[in-house]
Structure 1
């Protein structure tokens, strides 16, 4: 593996805690914590332990340092809105063209968003992020 390795991390929200999972050749790491930065730090520590021990015998992981690996987070809807509490479900639903009550049901886990619904929500969030990047305050 190269020094610019990116590992996908799944972030979930269950029982009032964030959970994180990363799968890669040779291992599956999972952890829980109170915050997203906390679970990412836990994952980095678990990864460093793997690289220092079992990973030494795995050719794909030799000469890779934990601090050289980037995490790319994928959130479930509940974890996303829990982590980014500044965002209102109703406002994102309006931007996505989704009924706010339906989005609330997705977030609470009462219903599961289809892939197309999830893409609409993601597009609305990305559009908002792009708009925010263009703002200059005085």
Structure 2
């Protein structure tokens, strides 16, 4: 079976639900859920209903807004990420809360910082 990679844009709603959208074919499909995995399942159902894309063949590429990212990965400490990014922690908190939206440059700076931290973590070896 052929895998279909589809971008899934994930945002946090005012109700703190994850809201997702997918553009496929001629359709813009949207739904919400309390977790990313639940959102994925709902979106796969919509893709089947509207486009007859088999749920087993779908692989989503997650595109998070800053607020949804920090909700999904709630173990990330905002002030530490801001420090690594060379940003004001208060400003990053405003992005996370939705009070302000980051510019594309600021969003990319946050993304680069998270990727750098992930690369460092991949090099870690734990001994017992």
TM-score by length of 2: 0.91
- 2:122 aligned with 1:133, yes or no? yes
* Structure 1 runs (4+) greater than 4 angstroms displaced: none
- Residues 17 and 33, structure 1, Cα contact 8 Å, conserved in 2: yes
How is 1:1-138 mapped onto 2 (pairs within 5 angstroms)?
3-14=2-13, 15-52=15-52, 65-138=54-127
Q: When the two structures are aligned, how many residues end up with a matched partner?
A: 126
- Give the root-mean-square deviation of aligned CA atoms: 1.5
Q: Which secondary structure does the structure 2 equivalent of 1:10 belong to?
A: strand
How far apart are residue 133 of structure 1 and its match? 1.1
Structure 2: unaligned runs, 5 residues or longer: none
Match of 1:61 in 2: none
Which protein has the larger Cα radius of gyration, Structure 1 or Structure 2?
A: 1
2: CA distance, partners of 1:132 / 1:33: 30
Structure 1: unaligned runs, 5 residues or longer: 53-63
Q: Which secondary structure does the structure 2 equivalent of 1:91 belong to?
A: helix
